Amino acid sequence: MDKNYLYTPGPTPIPPQVAAAMSQPMIGHRGQDFAELHAQIVEKAKQVFQTGNDLFVLTTSGTGGMETAVANTVSPGDRVLALITGNFGERFAKIASTYGAEVTKIEFPWGTAVDMKEVARVWEEQGPFKVVLATHNETSTGVTNDIAALGSFLADTDALLLVDAVSSMGAMDIRTDEWHVDLMVTGSQKALMLPPGLALISVSPKAWPVIEANTGVRFYFSLLEARKSFANYNTPWTPAVSLFYGLDTSLDLILAEGLPQVFRRHARMAAAARAGVKALGMQLLVEDDAIASHTVTAFLPGSEISAGDISKLLKQQMGVTFAGGQGKLKGKLLRIGHMGYCTELDVILAVAALEMTLHKLGVPVELGVGVRAAEKALL
**Binding positions for ligand PLP, rule: CB under 6 A:** 10, 61-63, 88, 135, 137, 139, 164, 166-167, 187, 196
For residue 264, the minimal CB distance to ligand PLP (Å) is 22
For residue 317, the minimal CB distance to ligand PLP (Å) is 26
Does residue 6 come out as left (phi exceeding 0), alpha (psi in the -120 to 50 range) or beta?
A: beta
Helices (H), the chain: 16-22, 32-49, 62-73, 87-98, 116-126, 147-154, 208-213, 223-230, 241-257, 259-279, 307-318, 344-360, 369-378
Query: Distances in Å between the alpha carbon of 142 and those of 10, 11, 302?
Result: 13, 16, 18
The kind and range of the H/E element at 337 are strand 334-337
Question: Which of residues 132 and 373 has its CB atom nearest to ligand PLP in the complex?
Answer: 132
Question: Which of residues 62 and 276 has its CB atom nearest to ligand PLP in the complex?
Answer: 62
> Closest Cα to residue 337, out of 191, 160, 121?
191
For residue 335, the minimal CB distance to ligand PLP (Å) is 10
Q: Which amino acid belongs to residue 113?
A: A
For residue 359, the minimal CB distance to ligand PLP (Å) is 31
Instruction: Give bridge partners of residue 186 from the DSSP assignment.
Output: 200
Question: Which of residues 13 and 62 has its CB atom nearest to ligand PLP in the complex?
Answer: 62
Question: Which of residues 119 and 171 has its CB atom nearest to ligand PLP in the complex?
Answer: 171
For residue 322, the minimal CB distance to ligand PLP (Å) is 14
- Which residue's beta carbon is nearest to the bound ligand PLP? 62
For residue 316, the minimal CB distance to ligand PLP (Å) is 24
Distance (Å, rounded) from C-alpha 172 to C-alpha 75?
Answer: 32
Question: Which of residues 9 and 370 has its CB atom nearest to ligand PLP in the complex?
Answer: 9
Distance (Å, rounded) from C-alpha 235 to C-alpha 296?
Answer: 33
Distance (Å, rounded) from C-alpha 190 to C-alpha 282?
Answer: 25
Question: Which of residues 74 and 348 has its CB atom nearest to ligand PLP in the complex?
Answer: 74
Question: Which of residues 228 and 328 has its CB atom nearest to ligand PLP in the complex?
Answer: 328
Distance (Å, rounded) from C-alpha 376 to C-alpha 272?
Answer: 8
Question: Which of residues 72 and 295 has its CB atom nearest to ligand PLP in the complex?
Answer: 295
Other CB atoms within 10 Å distance of the CB of residue 310: 22
Kindly state the DSSP code that residue 366 receives in the 8-state scheme.
P
For residue 364, the minimal CB distance to ligand PLP (Å) is 34
> Which residues, 6+ apart, have CB-to-CB distance to 32 below 8 Å?
none
CA 147-148-153 angle, 5° bins:
95
Question: Which of residues 323 and 371 has its CB atom nearest to ligand PLP in the complex?
Answer: 323
Distance (Å, rounded) from C-alpha 246 to C-alpha 175?
Answer: 24
Other CB atoms within 10 Å distance of the CB of residue 222: 17
For residue 367, the minimal CB distance to ligand PLP (Å) is 33
Beta strands 334-337; 296-300: pairing state: antiparallel
Question: Which of residues 196 and 216 has its CB atom nearest to ligand PLP in the complex?
Answer: 196
For residue 166, the minimal CB distance to ligand PLP (Å) is 4
Q: What are phi and psi of 299, to 5 degrees?
A: -150, 155
For residue 124, the minimal CB distance to ligand PLP (Å) is 28
